[in-house]
């Protein structure tokens, strides 16, 4: 049997009780910050509740997660909330990752506006229907592997893969959710390994249970093996009312296959459930097996959703949404979601490419004795010294416009933070064209100019001309040649 769901999620029924249009005499209490009309409660827990909602502006149906700040702070869960938002932001362009549309906050609540997964949890589907047909199980598994491959290439490990965290949209497509326990690139030690034990015991890799340093991607591989077993068998491979005995079964590979699971599927599960992470099958290796490739449509398997030159934090051009600017707009400063000492941050326009900004930051960090942690897309670097970590991230918003953000993401002593901050800032000066100003100009282009001319003049060219004038003005003020 399946272990019970430990946290309420969206219901599995495709039928949802949706909000009806607001009548004149209806109480305004169901209108959230003037933007969303709240419908029925989908689920609730100790720290949050989830409602279906309708956008007043677009009529689009959403799910709104309402988080209680006070309860979250008492439980020390603020980092988990920040991690969930940041991971979803970085992964939002994959079709099998639940999308986050907006983050809003008041003094007492945080509101995460997300894609509505009308099909509910896969957990509920398995619990109600028992095991799935192999073809159906393979399709869900293919979509999960596609999403996790994308996560891992972005340097993110989920670390809590289980049916309760895998949702379905109204078409029955899988959506990976709940990134609260995920690991971001900046969470790794200098060895590239993780060290925090987390996850759900029945789905957790043995090296994580043993509190050893571990590879997050290999830990996710183990969880995928358990998930595939559950899809095909209808119950978990390792289960015991005594937690110590269950851990022994996990470490000893002590489980049996029901006779209806095919040999090719058994082979994949067996290799994924290898207690030794060094010899465990990787998710990339799974994609090369005949069983995985069977009936696979190329359009469904999208581990590389974006081409390498488009792999920015936010995207450029027509695909930019409001949430794409989360790390480049004060409105989306995640550190301000909770009341605590605000970490330092600043933004600047650069006279070099996004990659050039990161290379310069790396060179400064290495020269000053910082530990350097890189991200695969070459537009992100974390510099750590003592108890302070400074992140530099750059993005080309439109051709020729590179905006970079530098922020302290971890720090204890304000004096120490200030010292390290000053060292890096001084080193970056030679590639900085201007501090701060261009972010407002970019926002003007995205949210004011562009919507006014959807089918008319080339607004990008108009905006570029305006921006070049600003660039020349700033260069002249600073006695800089803009062509340098």
What CATH number is associated with residue 135? 1.10.510.10
Give the pLDDT band (50/70/90) at residue 397.
low
Tell me the C-alpha distance between 45 and 49, whole Å.
6
Tell me the C-alpha distance between 357 and 361, whole Å.
6
Regarding whether 283 and 136 lie in a shared domain, the answer is yes
Is the pLDDT at 182 greater than 70? The verdict is: no
Regarding whether 446 and 340 lie in a shared domain, the answer is yes
Is the pLDDT at 250 greater than 80? The verdict is: yes
450-479: pLDDT as tens digits? 444 454 445 455 455 445 544 454 444 444
Residue 445 near residue 398, CB atoms below 8 Å? yes
What residues are labeled active site? 160
> Is 293 known as a binding-site position?
no
* pTM summary value: 0.61
Q: Which of 61, 88, 115 finishes a domain?
A: 115
What CATH number is associated with residue 84? 3.30.200.20
Regarding whether 444 and 472 lie in a shared domain, the answer is yes
In this structure, the chain runs to a length of: 484
Regarding whether 203 and 125 lie in a shared domain, the answer is yes
What pLDDT, on a 0 to 100 scale, did the predictor assign at position 5?
Answer: 47
Regarding whether 328 and 285 lie in a shared domain, the answer is no
* H helical segments located in 312-413: 354-367
Domains identified in the chain, total number: 3
What pLDDT, on a 0 to 100 scale, did the predictor assign at position 410?
Answer: 65
Give the pLDDT band (50/70/90) at residue 96.
very high
DSSP 448: I
Domain interval for residue 463: 308-477
More confident residue, 104 or 483: 104
Is the pLDDT at 132 greater than 90? The verdict is: yes
What is the three-class DSSP state of 404?
strand
Buried b (16+ CB within 10 A) or exposed e, 278-311: eebbbbeebbeeebbeeeeeeeebbbebbeeeeb
Please compute the mean of the pLDDT values over residues 403-418 and round it to a whole number. Answer: 68
Please compute the mean of the pLDDT values over residues 261-270 and round it to a whole number. Answer: 97
Tell me the C-alpha distance between 130 and 123, whole Å.
10
Q: Is 75 left (phi over 0), alpha (psi -120 to 50) or beta?
A: alpha
298-339: pLDDT as tens digits? 545 556 554 333 333 333 333 334 344 333 333 344 555 665
Tell me the C-alpha distance between 330 and 318, whole Å.
22
Please compute the mean of the pLDDT values over residues 433-437 and round it to a whole number. Answer: 67
Regarding whether 135 and 107 lie in a shared domain, the answer is no
What pLDDT, on a 0 to 100 scale, did the predictor assign at position 480?
Answer: 39
More confident residue, 177 or 327: 177
Tell me the C-alpha distance between 234 and 237, whole Å.
10
What is each CA distance from 228 to 25, 136, 442, 456, in whole angstroms? 51, 11, 45, 51
Mean pLDDT across the chain, nearest whole number?
Answer: 75
Regarding whether 205 and 130 lie in a shared domain, the answer is yes
Regarding whether 50 and 190 lie in a shared domain, the answer is no
Regarding whether 433 and 364 lie in a shared domain, the answer is yes
Give the pLDDT band (50/70/90) at residue 188.
low
Lowest model confidence (mean pLDDT) among 164-168, 171-175, 266-270, 473-477: 473-477
Give the pLDDT band (50/70/90) at residue 104.
confident
Q: Which of 251, 266, 293 finishes a domain?
A: 293
Regarding whether 157 and 258 lie in a shared domain, the answer is yes
Please compute the mean of the pLDDT values over residues 23-28 and round it to a whole number. Answer: 41
Tell me the C-alpha distance between 355 and 60, whole Å.
37
What CATH number is associated with residue 415? 3.30.310.80
Regarding whether 286 and 182 lie in a shared domain, the answer is yes
Regarding whether 169 and 136 lie in a shared domain, the answer is yes
């Amino acid at each position: 049997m399946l272990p019970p769901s430990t946290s309420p999620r969206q219901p599995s029924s495709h039928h949802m009780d949706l909000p009806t249009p607001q009548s004149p005499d209806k109480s305004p209490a169901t209108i959230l910050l003037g933007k969303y009309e709240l419908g029925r409660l989908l689920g609730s827990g100790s720290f949050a509740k989830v409602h279906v909602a309708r956008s007043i502006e677009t009529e689009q149906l959403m799910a709104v997660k309402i988080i209680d700040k006070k309860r979250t702070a008492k439980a020390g869960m603020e980092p988990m909330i920040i991690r969930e938002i940041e991971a979803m932001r970085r992964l939002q362009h994959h079709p099998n990752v639940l999308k986050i549309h907006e983050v809003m906050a008041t003094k007492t609540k945080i509101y995460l506006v997300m894609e509505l997964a009308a099909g509910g949890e896969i957990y509920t589907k398995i619990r109600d229907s028992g095991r799935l047909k192999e073809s159906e199980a393979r399709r869900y598994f293919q979509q999960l592997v596609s999403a996790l491959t994308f996560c891992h290439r972005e340097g993110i490990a989920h670390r809590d893969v289980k049916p309760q965290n895998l949702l379905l949209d109204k078409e029955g497509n899988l959506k990976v959710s709940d990134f609260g326990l995920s690991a971001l690139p900046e969470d790794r030690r200098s060895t590239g390994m993780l060290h925090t034990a987390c996850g759900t015991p029945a789905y957790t890799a043995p090296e994580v249970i043993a509190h050893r340093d571990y590879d997050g991607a290999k830990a996710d591989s183990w969880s995928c093996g358990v998930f595939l077993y559950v899809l095909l068998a209808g119950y978990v491979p390792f289960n015991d009312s005594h937690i110590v005995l269950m851990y022994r079964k996990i470490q000893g590979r002590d489980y049996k296959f029901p006779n209806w699971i095919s040999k090719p599927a058994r082979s994949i599960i067996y290799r994924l459930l290898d207690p030794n992470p060094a010899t465990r099958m990787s998710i990339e290796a799974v994609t090369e097996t005949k069983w995985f490739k069977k009936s696979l449509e190329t359009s469904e398997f999208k581990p590389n959703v974006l081409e390498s030159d488009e792999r920015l934090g936010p995207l450029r051009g027509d695909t930019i949404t409001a949430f794409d600017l989360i790390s480049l707009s004060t409105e989306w400063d995640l550190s301000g979601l909770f009341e605590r000492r605000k970490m330092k941050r600043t933004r600047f326009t650069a006279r070099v490419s996004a990659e050039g900004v990161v290379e310069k930051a790396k060179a400064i960090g290495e020269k000053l004795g910082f530990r350097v942690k890189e991200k695969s897309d070459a537009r992100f670097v974390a510099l750590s010294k003592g108890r302070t970590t400074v992140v530099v991230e750059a993005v080309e918003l439109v051709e020729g416009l590179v905006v970079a953000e530098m922020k302290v993401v971890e720090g204890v002593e304000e004096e120490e933070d200030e010292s390290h901050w000053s060292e890096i800032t001084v080193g970056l000066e030679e590639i900085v064209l201007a501090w701060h100003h261009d972010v407002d100009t970019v926002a003007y282009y995205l949210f004011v100019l562009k919507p006014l001319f959807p089918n008319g003049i080339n607004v990008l060219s108009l905006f570029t001309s305006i921006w070049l004038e600003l660039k020349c003005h700033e260069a002249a003020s600073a006695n800089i040649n803009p062509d340098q």
